[in-house]
Amino acid sequence: MTLMLTILIITILLFIWGKFTPDIVALISMLSLFFFGILNLEETLSGFSNPTVIMIAALFIIGEGLSQTGWTALAGEKFIKLAGKSSTKLLLITTFGSGLLSGFVSNTGTVATLLPVTISSAWSIGTLPSKLLMPVAFGSNTGGLLTLTGTPPNIIVNNTMIESGMEGFSFFEFGLIGLPLLILALLYFKFVGHRLLPDNKTNNKPVDISSTLHKWIEAYKVDNDYYRLRVRSVSPLLNTKLGEWEFEEKYNVSILRIKRRFPKVLKPKEAFIEFPENDTEFMYHDILTVKGDTKDINAIMIKFRLGLLPLEPMADEMRNNLINQEVGMSEIIVTPKSLMLGQKLRIGQFFKREGVQLMAVSRNNKPLTDREITVKAGDAYLIRGIWSDIERLKSHHENLVIVGSPEGMAKTVTNLTFKSYIALFALILMVVLLVFNLVPGAIAALLSAGIVLVSGCVPITKAYKGISWVSVVMIAAMIPMGVALQKTGTAELLANGLVDTLGSIGPVALLAGVFILTTSFSQVINNSATAVLMAPIVILAANTLEISAAPFMIAVAISASTAFLTPVGTTTNAMVITAGGYKFLDYLKVGAPLLILFLITTLLLVPVIWPF
């Protein structure tokens, strides 16, 4: 037992020191438990097969699916619109949204979903993610107290009550204390907490697509030769194929995209022909996005009896009609070492062979309109293509530099596609499975993550990149700590001593002791394990004193969800540590005052709502 306490203290000190990353500290702690003989091999590695760890990894994939398909960017826009330029308003919106959502979705699922939204929103209004992410994590922990299924400790204390022959809690009964605590958390962050949050600079700033598009318009003058034309009923193009007319060769006009006028009668993926090919057939009322000089456009309008449609402002036109989660634009620059230097190329045909469209060419910050050019170092090309094709172009031609991050820009697109609704369906399916307890949580998350992957919402390579492996490894390596505390009897000895001491003073003192001990354990071990450990001890103490167990069990549920002092006490804290650039002491500084407020509120309200 002494050895167990020594390892626990050293682990906490290493977390506070911050010399090593949290996952390394957790692994050191886990291995120490094995080498000193406290845990056997199976117990030592139990965290890596724990359903919670698997569920967390799956939830990151689901969150990446929502991000890749436009939902997080769209939610970010709504958050920003509601918040205006106020970082305080944004903090309150994200914290309340996190708390409300976690009443019905797992806390980890809530944070995984809101993590990219919060990061994007923070940068957009000129604040830092570290000013928002910890409140989101704390809000999700608190919001889990709104419903019976909001967080595992609620279910554990309820089942313990029923197994002991007592009446359990109703589905929304936890909300009688959960809602006041969530409001208290909002007031704390509004008036005090936001001052304590650190200003940690991180490198996760998303691409600002609006400023990027305006820069391209200015540099390449792309607003001078783009038009939208409609195929009329009298057009000779009707029911013919694109390759029959040789638009580029004969008329110097490029057809970039075709929008079908009546997409409802077609399959969703056929509503837009993003990259028309020679065998693409023209249909009645097709809307063509074309590129060419004004005189050439006028010539084809007359010859083919096409109607001219108004364009949106060019930045909006590009963002709404030429870019989506699958198709994007990027700027490519030729380096001085490129093998392309000195070659004469019909530049449009060159990029067409690479599977992308040439939108514009610039040299020395001046647009080029020549169809054939001699390539020089510094030449810049604005191209459009499938995001993965743009990335692949860089690997095929090592001395072409892609400016910016196509992958990052894809996440900023807010117009939704068919895959967007598949990703949303996957999330809703997980929520339904969890709310009605149809399958275990890990299975629900894996099933939804599988839908996201199989449907192509997120390529497998990007899905693995989207998982925060530091958080996953740290949680898996810390779970054995909870096993060791219980196995050595350390936790039970401490709990019994505190209960015996305070129980003789009175029920309120015992309630305070239960809260303090439970929250102390929850800072370093899983909140479910904490609840499992404390629930039977609290039941026994209440029965011994011949008072109702309900207020003490509620206190266990509350305090098991108040792991505000460390990044390892709950998975949600661990999930934001890297993205927020937080240190161990940041949690202590911000979380300690909130924990004290929760303790005082619990002691005041719980005996009133659930009398002794």
| Highest mean pLDDT out of 102-111, 148-157, 222-231, 529-538 | 222-231
In the block, which residue shows the tokens 């995209």? 257
Nearest by Cα to 374 from 404, 405, 338: 338
The predicted model gives 317-329 an average pLDDT of 75
Q: How many residues are listed for the chain in this entry? A: 612
pLDDT of residue 411: 57
Q: How high does pLDDT run on average in the chain?
A: 82
Rounded Cα gap, residues 426 and 450, in angstroms: 9
Report pLDDT digits (tens) over 447-497: 999 999 998 888 787 788 777 787 788 778 877 887 887 788 876 776 677
pLDDT of residue 557: 93
Q: In what helix (H) or strand (E) does residue 226 lie, and over which residues does it extend?
A: strand 226-231
Give yes or no for a contact between 384 and 356, defined as CB atoms under 8 angstroms apart.
yes
First to last CA, the chain: 35
Q: Which amino acid is at 39?
A: L
| Highest mean pLDDT out of 346-355, 476-485, 559-568 | 559-568
Q: In what helix (H) or strand (E) does residue 254 lie, and over which residues does it extend?
A: strand 254-259
Report pLDDT digits (tens) over 571-605: 788 878 888 888 889 999 999 999 999 999 999 99
The structural domains of the chain, ordered by start, are: 2-44+70-203+468-609 (no CATH), 213-321 (3.30.70.1450), 327-410 (3.30.70.1450)
Nearest by Cα to 55 from 573, 576, 571: 571
pLDDT of residue 494: 66
pLDDT of residue 266: 46
In the block, which residue shows the tokens 């406290």? 38
Rounded Cα gap, residues 515 and 534, in angstroms: 10
Nearest by Cα to 185 from 568, 604, 519, 597: 597
pLDDT of 235 above 90: yes
Give yes or no for a contact between 145 and 158, defined as CB atoms under 8 angstroms apart.
no
Give yes or no for a contact between 560 and 612, defined as CB atoms under 8 angstroms apart.
no
Q: In what helix (H) or strand (E) does residue 98 lie, and over which residues does it extend?
A: helix 87-102
Give yes or no for a contact between 130 and 551, defined as CB atoms under 8 angstroms apart.
no
Helices (H) and strands (E) in the chain, counts: 28, 12
Rounded Cα gap, residues 334 and 341, in angstroms: 8
Please list, in sequence order, all residues whose beta carbon lies within 8 angstroms of the beta carbon of residue 432, skipping any fewer than 6 positions away. 438
Our CA angle for 353, 355, 357, nearest 5°, is 95
| Highest mean pLDDT out of 122-136, 153-167, 268-282, 414-428 | 122-136
Give yes or no for a contact between 220 and 362, defined as CB atoms under 8 angstroms apart.
yes
pLDDT of residue 349: 72
Which of 35-49, 293-307, 406-420 has the weakest average pLDDT?
Answer: 406-420
Tokens standing for residue 576: 């934001």
Nearest by Cα to 195 from 244, 124, 131: 131
pLDDT-derived band at 121 (thresholds 50, 70, 90) equals confident
| Highest mean pLDDT out of 304-308, 372-376, 419-423 | 304-308
In the block, which residue shows the tokens 């889990």? 144
pLDDT-derived band at 76 (thresholds 50, 70, 90) equals low
pLDDT of 405 above 70: no
Rounded Cα gap, residues 269 and 263, in angstroms: 9
Give yes or no for a contact between 388 and 459, defined as CB atoms under 8 angstroms apart.
yes
Q: What's the Cα-to-Cα distance from 546 to each of 135, 173, 555, rounded to whole Å?
A: 39, 23, 18
Rounded Cα gap, residues 145 and 142, in angstroms: 6
pLDDT-derived band at 505 (thresholds 50, 70, 90) equals confident
Count Cβ neighbours within 10 Å for each residue of 132-156 and write b for 16 or more, e otherwise: bbbbbbbbbbbbbbbbbbbbbbbbb
Report pLDDT digits (tens) over 384-402: 888 778 777 766 666 677 7
* Rg of the chain (C-alpha set): 29
The predicted model gives 121-144 an average pLDDT of 88
pLDDT-derived band at 184 (thresholds 50, 70, 90) equals very high
pLDDT of residue 122: 84
Give the residue with greater pLDDT, 318 vs 248: 248
pLDDT of 67 above 90: no
| Residue 30 CB burial class (10 angstroms; 0-12, 13-18, ≥19) | buried
Tokens standing for residue 483: 């096993």
pLDDT of 55 above 60: yes
Rounded Cα gap, residues 477 and 469, in angstroms: 12
Report pLDDT digits (tens) over 12-45: 778 767 678 778 888 998 999 999 999 999 989 9
Give yes or no for a contact between 329 and 359, defined as CB atoms under 8 angstroms apart.
yes
Give yes or no for a contact between 334 and 399, defined as CB atoms under 8 angstroms apart.
yes
pLDDT of residue 407: 57
Count Cβ neighbours within 10 Å for each residue of 463-492 and write b for 16 or more, e otherwise: beebbbebbbbbbbbbbbbbbbbebbebbe
pLDDT-derived band at 109 (thresholds 50, 70, 90) equals low
Give yes or no for a contact between 95 and 189, defined as CB atoms under 8 angstroms apart.
yes
DSSP-assigned letter for residue 40: -
Count Cβ neighbours within 10 Å for each residue of 559-585 and write b for 16 or more, e otherwise: bbbbbbbbbbbbbbbbbbbbbbbbbbe
Widest Cα–Cα separation across the chain: 98
Please list, in sequence order, all residues whose beta carbon lies within 8 angstroms of the beta carbon of residue 139, skipping any fewer than 6 positions away. 94, 95, 96, 97, 98, 99, 102, 182, 185, 186
Q: How many CA atoms lie within 13 A of 213 on its CB side?
A: 21
Helices 133-143 and 571-580 meet at what angle, rounded to 10? Answer: 170
Give yes or no for a contact between 51 and 441, defined as CB atoms under 8 angstroms apart.
yes
pLDDT of 222 above 80: no
Q: What's the Cα-to-Cα distance from 1 to each of 13, 40, 417, 534, rounded to whole Å?
A: 19, 16, 57, 19
Nearest by Cα to 560 from 589, 588, 527, 532: 527
pLDDT of residue 100: 84
β-bridge pairing 400-403 and 327-334: antiparallel
pLDDT of residue 32: 93
pLDDT of 207 above 70: no
Rounded Cα gap, residues 293 and 282, in angstroms: 22
